[in-house]
A = this chain, B = another copy of it.
Amino acid sequence: MKKSTPATIEDVARLAEVSIATVSRAIHMPEKVAASTRLKVDRAIAVTGYTANAMARSLRLGRSNMILAIAPDIGDPNFAPILIGLENEARAAGYGLLIGHTQGDPLRGVEYLKFQNANQAAGLILFTGYVPTDPNQPAPRLPPMVAVSEPLAQGAAPFVGVDDRGGARKMVELLIAQGHRKIAFVGDSRDRLSHHRRRIGFDEGLAAAGLRAGQTVMDADGTLEGGRAAVERLFLRDDLPTAFACVNDQTAAGVILALTARGYDVPRDFSVTGFDDIPQAGFLSPALTTIRQPRRQIGQTAMEILLGLVEGVAPDEAETLLMPDLIQRSSVGPVPQGRRY
């Protein structure tokens, strides 16, 4: 047994005294080959330690066993568990997960399409909210895609994510139950569909309680800094809310920081809520009350759908929305009595 070069199907065939076609069949369509032959082949495979050369296989089949995930930032605490879910599911099906990191630069995404063009990816998972395309090149042939974390603009691909609207609504209901009547939404954005949906859920929740009027909505870009800045802008006005419903946890962290810096206590003076339940959320002080995304589950479901698509089966729904859990920690309290501004 020379180990200089890995065993090929031919080595197995020689050892089992059959043709290479029979070996291939023994592996992929066992019922088509006689039991005795199958046994010989299996033994030969064990002896040689044969593993099919994936390159040759993909070349022949015209389809690779890689799934490409394109994310703006792999380090985003929201993405990691989704990636794990994706990866687990992919591996179970014999696929590998290739990662692409665009650093928020749309053009970077285009670079990864090379992998697709080069037949190196059977499918695409998009965290970006848009399909990477090069304006100069003619539209490339796109493989099966599934969007995750952020839906695609025109519903161009199935989306798997959390029920943003329902989650936001739950959050508002909690605040209302605590007596809050003036609640500011921090993080309105036209760019991110998921954030927009949270805003809608917020509106719905207020409307359901007959509080539609007098709400405050602050633009913010979803970063800690954005949250902080929004609070500063808000304090320039005279009608302050008693609670801040933030579009995500980063924003909430910024809001808490700004409030604390001004000498207020959360939740005694103001209540603050987040969304996503990033790992830091529990370490903020006060620990953040937020909405937990079932991230692992999202990854798993998305990969299931994508692999189905690769096999040619259409998904049941255009959007698979998972219901998030409300995680109550200590950043929400009853509305302060007799406070006036």
A54 at the B interface (CB under 8 A):
yes
A20 at the B interface (CB under 8 A):
no
The number of chain A residues touching the other chain, given as a range, is 35 or more
A340 at the B interface (CB under 8 A):
no
Q: Which residues of the other chain, B, contact A99 by a CB distance below 8 angstroms?
A: 83, 87, 97-99
In the complex the two chains form, is A80's CB within 8 Å of B75's CB? yes
Q: Which residues of the other chain, B, contact A75 by a CB distance below 8 angstroms?
A: 80-81, 83-84
Q: Once bound together, how far apart are the Cα atoms of A126 and B160, in whole Å? A: 31
In the complex the two chains form, is B3's CB within 8 Å of A119's CB? no
- Which residue, A117, A283, A285, has most C-beta atoms of chain B within 10 A? A283
Q: Looking across the interface, which residue of chain B has its beta carbon closest to that of A76?
A: B80
In the complex the two chains form, is A59's CB within 8 Å of B53's CB? yes
Interface residues of A in 46-95 (CB under 8 A from B): 49, 51-56, 58-59, 64, 66, 73-75, 77, 80-81, 83-84, 87-88, 91
Interface residues of A in 265-297 (CB under 8 A from B): 279-280, 283-285
Copies in the complex: 2
Q: Looking across the interface, which residue of chain B has its beta carbon closest to that of A138?
A: B49
Q: Which residues of the other chain, B, contact A140 by a CB distance below 8 angstroms?
A: 49
In the complex the two chains form, is A91's CB within 8 Å of B111's CB? yes
In the complex the two chains form, is A54's CB within 8 Å of B120's CB? yes
Cβ contact of A80, chosen from B3, B54, B80, B120, cutoff 8 A: B80
A137 at the B interface (CB under 8 A):
yes
Cβ contact of A119, chosen from B55, B117, B284, cutoff 8 A: B55
Smallest beta-carbon distance A223→chain B, Å: 13
User: 23 A-B Cβ contacts within 8 A?
Assistant: A3-B138, A3-B141, A6-B117, A49-B137, A49-B140, A51-B118, A52-B118, A53-B59, A53-B119, A54-B119, A55-B58, A55-B120, A56-B59, A66-B98, A73-B84, A74-B87, A75-B81, A87-B100, A98-B98, A253-B283, A279-B279, A280-B283, A285-B285
